[in-house]
Amino acid sequence: MTDTVLTVEQMRATERAAMEAGVSEWELMQRAGEGAAQWIMRVAAGRPVAVLCGPGNNGGDGYVIAETLIRRGYEVQVIAPLEPRSETAQQARAHYSGAVFAATTMREPVVIDCLFGYGLTRKVEGEFAELLEQMASSHCYKVAIDVPSAVESDTGSVLGPLPDYDLTLALGAWKQAHGLMPAMAAMGERRLVPIGLDLSGARSALSRRPRLTPPAPDAHKYRRGLLAVVAGAMPGAPLLAAEAAMRAGVGYVKLLSDHDHFGAPADLVIEQGKLANTLDDERIAAVLVGPGLGRDDSARERLAQAFSCRKPGVLDADALYLLDPELLAQADPGTLCVTPHEGELQKLCEVFGIGDGSKLERARRLHDVTGMTVLAKGPDTVLASDVMTSFFPRGSSWLSVAGTGDVLAGIVASRLAVHGNPHRACEEGVWLHHEAARLASPAFTASGLAHAVKPAMAALL
């Protein structure tokens, strides 16, 4: 699959499998370098190019790129502080027909970073750090080959000077860093260069933009899904989530609340009374609980009652601070989605005995321990479920405003009520959230974002 994401260990195993099947490492390097050169020629458009080559196989890719460009008539300068060390990189250097400079001032309008590829775990220092600093301060068009040279592939952490690249070309398969902060913010446009690897069986992928479908010809409001939004101590957040849910495709939204919601839209049904009674409706397709719930004993009881109806559900905000193994035992975890930000994820990990680690590692372990679908949101968003781990494109930084998480929870719950698939609901929710942010224009409020969900739906149909 062209959206497959691999760890360093998985990538090495995949390349070994290709070589055991009869493809040489030199052939894989040629495919990678020549495929990357095709992209570089598109952006260089005849301009001179500098290629920074390291001593490993990423540097070997650089020599192949440079030779391919020379054959197409490009003016190319290769800068390599060290000679190649691996046998295949030495072969690539031997096939390169141009000059190599150990150090020089970059003046070319296009610069290609082939210093270090995937698998780097040590800090970038010395002459390599100086080259990256020089690249960062240059006004050139910057291209990273595979992953930027100062990035750890599995975690996205930064190990040295990190220029802001215009283009990153992943070789063979996507790496986890392509979907993780802080590295993702520096990668610019991201494109994949296939090299003929067998990527079947992978359990991680970049999320593809979903294509939503209109209701069936014979649909009615209950067949499209009835979503119950459980309110609590604070009226604003559940109302915001309900308004987003109403615009995300569900047929019917009920806000179960004892508050007077003045100014609530006329087409939102607000139902008061004992929660156990209002939840005792077999037509309910999904439940959202957490926004504005509170964290006292009354809130805990409302969360327990939401679990008692045994419907698919989305847990957000206060519900994530209340959730513990005792409460979860009352639910069907396989039907639940949790949507934590960093603080909420940390709290869940403490309660369920998850140790330290990256956001990705903790989200995966939380899913493994609890069985819930975990959508760990933030500047980078990752989704861990029985289906797979999904990575998403970076959303608008304007989403960093109070209430946008309530909107996301409402969207995800709406999609869950439509079809009942937790992983799919989370993926659709993230894409709708990002699209709504794009359409809402800068400096929106959470309520403005909720209203932008409707045109976002139209954009994904």
Question: β-pairing, 76-79 with 100-101?
Answer: parallel
Using DSSP bridges, classify how beta strands 389-391 and 382-384 pair: parallel, antiparallel or unpaired.
antiparallel
Q: Is 318 known to sit in a ligand binding site?
A: no
User: Does 267 carry a binding-site annotation?
Assistant: no
Q: How many residues does the chain have?
A: 461
120 annotated ligand binder: yes
Q: Is 149 annotated as a binding residue?
A: yes
For 94, phi and psi rounded to 5 degrees? -65, -30
* 421 marked as binding residue: no
* Residue 63 counted as an annotated binding residue: no
Q: Is 424 annotated as a binding residue?
A: no
123 is in an annotated binding site: yes
Q: What is the DSSP letter of 340?
A: -
**Was 406 annotated as part of a binding site?**
yes
| DSSP letters for 434-452 | HHHHHHH-SS--HHHHHHT
Contact 177, 154 (CB under 8 A): yes
- The answer to whether 332 is annotated as binding is no
The annotation status of 121 as a binding-site residue, yes or no, is yes
Contacts 24+ apart (CB under 8 A), 148-151: 148/113, 148/183, 148/186, 148/187, 149/52, 149/54, 149/58, 149/113, 149/114, 149/115, 149/116, 149/120, 149/124, 150/116, 150/120, 150/124, 151/120, 151/177, 151/183, 151/186
Query: Is residue 54 part of an annotated ligand binding site?
Result: no
Beta carbons of 373 and 389 less than 8 angstroms apart: no
Residue 118 labelled as part of a binding site = yes
- Assigned token pair, 57: 């196989």
Q: What gap in Å lies between CA 315 and CA 325, rounded to an integer? A: 14
Strand partners, 151: 158
341 marked as binding residue: yes
Residue 113 assigned as binding residue: yes
Q: Is 433 annotated as a binding residue?
A: no
Alpha-carbon distance of 424 to 245, in angstroms, equals: 16
Which among 221, 248, 213, 225 is positioned nearest to 419, based on CA atoms? 225
Binding-site residue numbers for (6S)-NADPHX are: 57-61, 117-123, 146, 237, 292, 341, 406
Binding-site residue numbers for K(+) are: 58, 113, 149
Binding-site residue numbers are: 57-61, 113, 117-123, 146, 149, 237, 292, 341, 377-381, 405-406
Binding-site residue numbers for AMP are: 377-381, 405
